[in-house]
Amino acid sequence: MKRSTQVFAVSALAAALAACGGSGDGSLSSGQTGTVSMGLTDAPTMDLSSVNVAFNAIRLKPVDGQWQEFSLDEVGIIDLLTLQGGVTEPLITDEEVPAGEYEEIRLIVDTEQSWVTKESGGDARYTLAVPSGEQSGLKLKGSFVVAADTSQSFTIDFDVRKSIVNPPGKALADYMLKPVLRLVNNLEVGELTGEVDYATILQARNEDPEQLDCSPNYEGAVYVYEGEIDEPVDLNVERDGLNPLMVVPVNEQEDGNLYEWTAAFLTEGTYTISYSCQLDDNETDDEIEFEGTQTLDVIAGETTVADPIPLQP
């Protein structure tokens, strides 16, 4: 049974980002201003235990105006892997900017203060290269409008799983950041959430020798696709342009029998979800097995609850 409830909230950290909506004709209004807030979120699943990025500044480019730049010195270093399940980190809050249409965002990064750690690496730090991070920054192109005399709030979804590359030869660094970003209006998003009975899945697969066993140290992940699809695919398995919008981790609950997941900041529309408990290598195209595939509708400002996985007859 799928149900929606009016309880969606981005997180305690993002409370200051709540805003009233507005509309505009897109052109800069002489002398008129609005305020804008930007937050950062992520939904990763990978073998890294932290991805620490030092943000220096954020720049906003009006279609018909000069760059608007704001210092992020107080934000400092952010571990992107802590921003899951709707948790955000505010970058700027209620900053006054010229009203009108904007076409690009850039995040300026201090590469020398950015690094990653691995689950199997103890406290060791591994270098993280961010090409042009200190000059032109991480680029996010796309149109958004700041209406006059209104306050608007946006979130930058930083998909770490798709963005971290382990380059051959380690010419620049141990890892490289090639950002995959998307921008959402906080008034236009909802979330999906659900549970996975992991013990049942393990038992069912272990009883069938033809099925691949799940890793005992990995809770698995839920893959989220835009629209209604017939057969899910992994990140690097291209089929008719199909690729998951995001891959969200499944987290163990206190009772040890149920595992929960949340996919946040989804724009209103139809989505397909599917679960896999197999470990996935982000740099290979090996196919993995899925189960519990469902199609659900996301409504702005609401939480849609999926059927438990595995699906009950």
Q: Both 171 and 220 in a single domain?
A: no
Q: Both 151 and 11 in a single domain?
A: yes
Asked which of 185, 220, 249 is the last residue of a domain, the reply is 185
For the chain, how many structural domains are there in total? 2
Asked whether residue 218 is assigned to any structural domain, the reply reads yes
CA dihedral 284, 195, 215, 125 (to 10 degrees): 70
Query: Residue 247's closest CA among 267, 230, 262?
Result: 262
Q: Both 207 and 278 in a single domain?
A: yes
pLDDT score, position 190 = 96
Residue 20 structural domain: 3-185
Q: Both 181 and 38 in a single domain?
A: yes
Residue-level pLDDT, tens digit, the chain, 313 residues: 343 333 333 332 233 323 333 334 445 556 789 999 999 998 655 678 899 999 999 999 999 899 999 999 888 899 998 888 788 999 999 999 999 999 999 999 998 899 999 877 677 898 888 887 778 888 999 899 999 999 999 999 988 877 887 776 656 788 888 888 889 999 999 999 999 987 777 776 666 655 556 766 678 889 999 999 988 988 766 666 688 888 888 888 776 677 899 999 999 999 999 998 876 655 444 578 888 999 999 999 999 999 998 876 5
Beta strands in 174-290 (DSSP E): 175-177, 181-185, 189-196, 221-226, 246-249, 251-252, 259-267, 269-276
Are 286 and 205 in contact by the 8 Å Cβ rule? The answer is no
The CB-side HSE value for 313 (13 A sphere, CA atoms) comes to 0
Asked whether residue 255 is assigned to any structural domain, the reply reads yes
Asked whether residue 313 is assigned to any structural domain, the reply reads no
Q: Both 197 and 134 in a single domain?
A: no
Q: How many whole angstroms separate alpha carbon 44 and alpha carbon 261?
A: 12
Q: Both 169 and 197 in a single domain?
A: no
Asked which of 185, 217, 235 is the last residue of a domain, the reply is 185
Q: How many whole angstroms separate alpha carbon 177 and alpha carbon 235?
A: 17
pLDDT score, position 5 = 37
Asked whether residue 312 is assigned to any structural domain, the reply reads no
Q: Both 41 and 92 in a single domain?
A: yes
Q: How many whole angstroms separate alpha carbon 196 and alpha carbon 214?
A: 13
Number of CB atoms found within 10 A of residue 5's CB:
10
Q: Both 129 and 208 in a single domain?
A: no
Asked whether residue 216 is assigned to any structural domain, the reply reads yes
Asked whether residue 213 is assigned to any structural domain, the reply reads yes
Q: How many whole angstroms separate alpha carbon 114 and alpha carbon 129?
A: 8
Asked whether residue 311 is assigned to any structural domain, the reply reads no
Q: In this structure, what are the phi and psi dihedrals at residue 17, rounded to the nearest 5 degrees?
A: -90, -5
Q: Both 27 and 74 in a single domain?
A: yes
CATH code for the domain of 280: 2.60.40
Query: Residue 160's closest CA among 44, 41, 250, 280?
Result: 44
Q: How many whole angstroms separate alpha carbon 280 and alpha carbon 236?
A: 10
Q: Both 257 and 216 in a single domain?
A: yes
Give bridge partners of residue 151 from the DSSP assignment: 35
Structure tokens at 4: 């929606």
pLDDT score, position 210 = 56
Q: How many whole angstroms separate alpha carbon 198 and alpha carbon 214?
A: 10
Q: Both 39 and 130 in a single domain?
A: yes
pTM given for the model: 0.78
End-to-end alpha carbon distance in the chain? 12
Q: Both 169 and 233 in a single domain?
A: no
Asked which of 134, 164, 185 is the last residue of a domain, the reply is 185
